Structure 1
Amino acid sequence: MPFLGIILFLITITIIAGIKIVKQYERKVVFTLGKYSGILTPGFNIIIPFIQTTTTVDIREQAVDVPSQEAMTKDNISCTVNAVIYYKIKEHQVERSVINVRFLGYAMSQFAQTTMRNIVGQFELDELLAKRKEASDEIKKIVDEKSDLWGVDVLSVEIKDINIPDDLKRTIGKQAEAEREKRAKIITSEGELQSAQNLQEAAKMLAKAPGALHLRTLQSINDLSSDQSNTTIWMLPIEIMEAIKGLGDNIAKKGK
């Protein structure tokens, strides 16, 4: 009886060891006597204990950081760049992520570091800062081609930070400030030019219309008279001043 009990116990343990419950976001790679023999899908599965073993693979979207790397741009400026990779193991190629690479995340991070340095070297600093997405897409393309051997689909690569030396930051800041001042001066000069052109056109219109200048003068006097200040300014057309001068000259001649 004790011997029979031991046998039943071992059989029970063996059956339990052969039961594998696979979660929806997992797949289990099966090896029979060390050789790949299939994939366990979500739900209840049974394997042969001690003969078959499994390795669990997470097929959800994952992220891996690419540590900061010192790189040299095309115009020989040193900068520090880091990034993040978003990837997902292909469901129909799960076994590749187990058979073809040992530490998947580490391998992708290391390969991305080398690729990132090479890509940064293809851009000048201004281009790299302005075209960060284009640089990220180039890194993604190369990493995706390499990781296909590992059964991985690279969803995106994003360059997070591009750090440059402090003295270069100050230089770039001065250049940006100078550019803003330049644009402000251009806008001001364009405004002054437009104003001068408008005044010129207005002068031509007043000169062509008889009496228009007198009407404009009267309008100016009316505007000034409505001012509440204590100072009153009288404005007379130049024609009146010339007439007064002419009258004075005639009187002087008659007096002689």
Structure 2
Amino acid sequence: MTTPFRNVTPNGPGGATTLLLVLSFTGFLLLTQALFVVPAGKVAVVTTLGKVSGRPRNPGLNFKVPFIQATYPFDVRTKVIPENFEALTKDLQVIEATATVKYAVRSSEAGRVFSTISYTDSEVYPRIIKPSLLKALKSVFSKYELVAIASNWSDISRIVEETVAKELDKFDYVDVQALDLTGLQIAEEYRAAIEQKQIAEQQLLRAQTEVKIAEQEALRYETLTQSLDDQVLFKLFLDKWDGKTQVVPALPGNKGGGNPVIVGGRGN
């Protein structure tokens, strides 16, 4: 009885071909497992048997040990996230606004974020940025009354940005590139009071400016008056004299001295 299968001996032509195919497939499999590409705007955290090893890999073609090392991409591009919030002022008034945060995960710290916080970059904002942001907002706004906040909104925004950046520097995971505060909402009755305060401050500033101008004018006239002595007046007279008008010197003993003149009628 004959069998439909051929016997393939290792030393025969068929055995060599099969071995070559197996080796080629194994080499291709190892190559595909060893090489990986990191897209632009991301880095890759490499783990060896579950433990973070080495620095994050930069964008481009990279190499890892097949079946032993694994890669996890982390987005390090700038993200812009608006956060609506409420806060109490020093005089216990509730304000509402929107804080728009621009931040990016530091590429060099992606491995540490992976080890201590989250396996994905999507958890960076809710677990790092947001708690520090809300803490800073409440801390800053609780130090000012509502009128001061509404009147100095740009200054308050700068203080909040500095406070948030300082708070996040403790973690050293992210770079806060900007923080914009917009959409301040307050009760209507307080808005009217704030507008009246601003009008009063503008009127006071205008009055102070007018007083300063008047003081400068008075000082200028005083300086001018003091500079008009007898010699200056006599020189001014000579500059304007037409040479025909009769003049008589001041009488001796006059308080004004010898320079002032008495203007008579015109000569013939």
Whether the TM-score (by the shorter chain) exceeds 0.5 is yes
* 2:71 is the counterpart of 1:51: no
Cα 1:134–1:7 change in 2 (3 A) is same
Work out which of the residue numbers 126, 136, 144 in structure 1 matches 2:169: 144
Partner amino acid, structure 2, of 1:142: E
Query: What do residues 165-199 of structure 1 show as CA deviations (whole Å, max 9, x unaligned)?
Result: 23322221122223333444555677778889999
C-alpha contact (below 8 Å) 2:45/2:74 kept by paired residues:
yes
User: Could you say which residue in structure 2 is the equivalent of 1:106?
Assistant: 126
Alignment of 1:52-91 (within 5 A): 52-60=69-77, 62-91=78-107
- How far does residue 109 in structure 1 lie from its aligned partner after superposition? 3.5
- SS for the counterpart of 1:134 is helix
How far apart, CA to CA, are the structure 2 residues paired with 1:40 and 1:164? 43
C-alpha contact (below 8 Å) 2:56/2:108 kept by paired residues:
no
Cα 1:193–1:49 change in 2 (3 A) is closer
C-alpha contact (below 8 Å) 2:97/2:181 kept by paired residues:
yes
- SS for the counterpart of 2:198 is helix
- SS for the counterpart of 2:67 is coil
Partner amino acid, structure 2, of 1:171: A
- How far does residue 79 in structure 1 lie from its aligned partner after superposition? 0.8
Alignment of 1:85-234 (within 5 A): 85-102=101-118, 103-111=123-131, 112-125=133-146, 126=148, 129=153, 130-145=155-170, 147-148=171-172, 152-161=173-182, 163-165=184-186, 166-185=188-207
Cα 1:31–1:196 change in 2 (3 A) is closer
Query: What do residues 196-243 of structure 1 show as CA deviations (whole Å, max 9, x unaligned)?
Result: 9999999xxxxx9xxxxxxxxxxxxxxxxxxxxxxxxxxxxxxxxxxx
C-alpha contact (below 8 Å) 2:106/2:175 kept by paired residues:
no
Work out which of the residue numbers 22, 26, 44 in structure 2 matches 1:28: 44
Partner amino acid, structure 1, of 2:182: D
Report the identity percentage.
20
5+ residue gaps, structure 2, are 1-13, 225-229, 231-268
C-alpha contact (below 8 Å) 2:99/2:179 kept by paired residues:
yes
Cα 1:29–1:195 change in 2 (3 A) is closer
Query: What do residues 150-179 of structure 1 show as CA deviations (whole Å, max 9, x unaligned)?
Result: xx2434442422513233222211222233
Cα 1:124–1:140 change in 2 (3 A) is farther
Partner amino acid, structure 2, of 1:107: R
* 2:35 is the counterpart of 1:13: no
Pick the structure with more helix per residue. 1
5+ residue gaps, structure 1, are 203-207, 209-256
